[in-house]
């Protein structure tokens, strides 16, 4: 299984803060995002079409090309600004 977490505004936009999905279907973060995007327009805008999407796999900064394996934790964050 993959543990997937949605933080900050994604939690409200997507209507959930976390979920588990079968790991064998997803080889990279990109394949996971593409699958999640089939859920609807909010998912496409938040994840697939978001060029500023922040991703972490197992608490390390990741990219869409990062490989996934069973037991991984994937977190999606909206762009963060500070001041």
Instruction: Record the pTM.
Output: 0.92
CA distances (Å), 31 to each of 8, 9, 12, 43, 77, in order?
A: 23, 22, 23, 14, 17
Q: In this predicted model, what pLDDT tens digit does every residue of 17-52 receive, in sequence order?
A: 999 999 989 999 999 999 999 999 999 999 999 999
Domain 2-77 fold: Ubiquitin-like (UB roll) (3.10.20)
User: What pLDDT score was predicted for residue 82?
Assistant: 57
In the chain, what are the domain boundaries? 2-77
Q: Where are the beta strands (DSSP E) in 1-83?
A: 2-6, 18-21, 54-57, 60-62, 73-77
Task: Give the span between the Cα atoms of 60 and 46, in whole angstroms.
Answer: 20
């Amino acid at each position: 299984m993959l543990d997937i977490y949605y933080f900050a505004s994604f939690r409200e936009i997507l209507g959930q803060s976390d979920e588990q999905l079968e790991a064998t279907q997803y080889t990279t973060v990109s394949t996971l995002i593409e699958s999640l995007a089939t859920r609807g327009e909010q998912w496409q805008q938040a994840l697939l079409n978001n060029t500023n999407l922040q991703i972490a796999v197992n608490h390390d900064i990741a990219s869409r090309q990062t490989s996934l394996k069973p037991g991984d934790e994937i977190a999606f964050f909206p762009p963060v600004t500070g001041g």
